[in-house]
Amino acid sequence: MARNVYISNGVKSEQDLYEGLIIEAMQIYGTDIFYLPRAYYSIDTILNEDTLSKFESAFKIEMYIESIDGLEGDGKLYSKFGFEIRDQITFVVSRRRWNQLIGNKGYTKESVRPREGDLIYIPMTKGLFEIRYVEDKKPFFQVKNVPTFKLTCENFEYGNQEINTGIDEVDKLQRTSSTLINAVVEFDEGELHLLNEKLIITLPSAITGYTELLEYKRDGATLVERLATLNFDDGQFHQLTVGTTLTGEKSGVVSTITSLFELSDTSEDAYNNDPNAQNNPFEDVGNSFIDFSESNPFGEPNDA
């Protein structure tokens, strides 16, 4: 027997009531989080990645944490790449609230839902998670619509992205985890750049880009600036060289690089990398069996 044609479960008023009850429940039992959309600038269509992605804004919204018993996923494990933390957490967010607080804020022109790769920050636990999968079909059309998104997120692994959201607890991740470059500079006018100011890079070859001033310190007549991740307008990576100029976007102050701390510099102030990193041991072992002087690895030895 077919279902009763005189009773409908797809009435707009019922759908609005159903979604309204969900939103109210989330505002009671949920938690406030910050949603960080990922901004893409130069996507590699071969590897489907973007080395210049950034997080420049944060939107506050309520979400329900479905993982009430704690973090899920594979947890902490040892793999061939070392110690990994694969904690996962699941959030539920209202579609209506998503459109009100995020979707209509110019978040993205081509997306009508949360996107994989975006970040979620939980102030309560100070946890930062990356969206791995967005489920947009649950609950499955109970009143002929789906009023929520379910976000499966995993512990975020920082990869030198630029983070400038205005939330200090999030932004400090870049200051403490990125590869920081120390540059000795001299100023034309004797003034200083502003802290956390965006600096326009102009290489002697006329290639332009930008970075951020994280901090500076003076040692007598020498001034050292600590710079964040380098981003260049052509999408390629370039080394800073002596003679490169740095122009403050807000202050307008121009400085010229007179010397740099090279990667071989092992002093504590040269780079603020993870002290447990094994870069040097890997290089020492690799030099013992890899001949980097070989110019034609696919031909006969010593062939040009």
Tens of pLDDT, residues 35-91: 998 877 656 667 666 655 778 888 999 999 887 666 665 656 666 666 666 778 899
Query: Sign of the CA dihedral 93, 97, 99, 101?
Result: negative
Of 109-123, 246-260, 285-299, least confident by mean pLDDT is 285-299
pLDDT of residue 98: 87
Q: Report residue 301's pLDDT band, with 50, 70 and 90 as the boundaries.
A: low
d(C-alpha 163, C-alpha 304), whole Å: 45
188 plus 129 within the same structural domain? no
pLDDT of residue 158: 77
110 pLDDT above the threshold of 80: no
d(C-alpha 157, C-alpha 220), whole Å: 38
d(C-alpha 95, C-alpha 88), whole Å: 22
138 plus 252 within the same structural domain? no
Mean pLDDT, residues 150-169 taken together: 82
300 within domain boundaries:
no
137 plus 242 within the same structural domain? no
129 plus 278 within the same structural domain? no
56 plus 122 within the same structural domain? yes
CA atoms within 13 A on the CB side of 1: 3
3 within domain boundaries:
no
292 within domain boundaries:
no
Q: Report residue 131's pLDDT band, with 50, 70 and 90 as the boundaries.
A: very high
Tens of pLDDT, residues 92-107: 999 889 888 887 775 6
CATH number for the domain that contains residue 277:
2.40.30
**3-class secondary structure, 49:** strand
62 within domain boundaries:
yes
Q: What is the pTM of this model?
A: 0.60
Provide the residue range defining the domain that includes 183. 179-287
135 plus 246 within the same structural domain? no
161 plus 190 within the same structural domain? no
Mean pLDDT for all residues in the chain:
75
211 plus 257 within the same structural domain? yes
pLDDT of residue 202: 92
52 plus 137 within the same structural domain? yes
Rounded to 5°, the CA angle 158-57-74 comes to: 35
23 within domain boundaries:
yes
| Helix or strand holding residue 19 (H, E) | helix 12-29
Structure tokens at 97: 């609230």
Q: Is 123 exposed, middle or buried (0-12, 13-18, 19+ CB in 10 A)?
A: middle
pLDDT of residue 28: 92
d(C-alpha 134, C-alpha 120), whole Å: 13
Instruction: Return the DSSP state at 44.
Output: B
pLDDT of residue 268: 42
17 plus 159 within the same structural domain? yes
**108 contacts 40 by C-beta, under 8 angstroms:** no
Rg (CA), the chain: 25
Tens of pLDDT, residues 183-217: 777 665 567 888 778 889 999 888 998 888 777 77
2 within domain boundaries:
no
% residues pLDDT > 90 (the chain): 10
27 plus 139 within the same structural domain? yes
The one-letter code for the residue type at 280 is N
Tens of pLDDT, residues 239-290: 888 888 888 888 888 888 887 754 333 344 433 444 445 556 666 666 676 6
d(C-alpha 286, C-alpha 259), whole Å: 29
248 plus 202 within the same structural domain? yes
The one-letter code for the residue type at 109 is K
Phi/psi at 92 (5° precision): -125, 130
Structural domains counted in the chain: 2
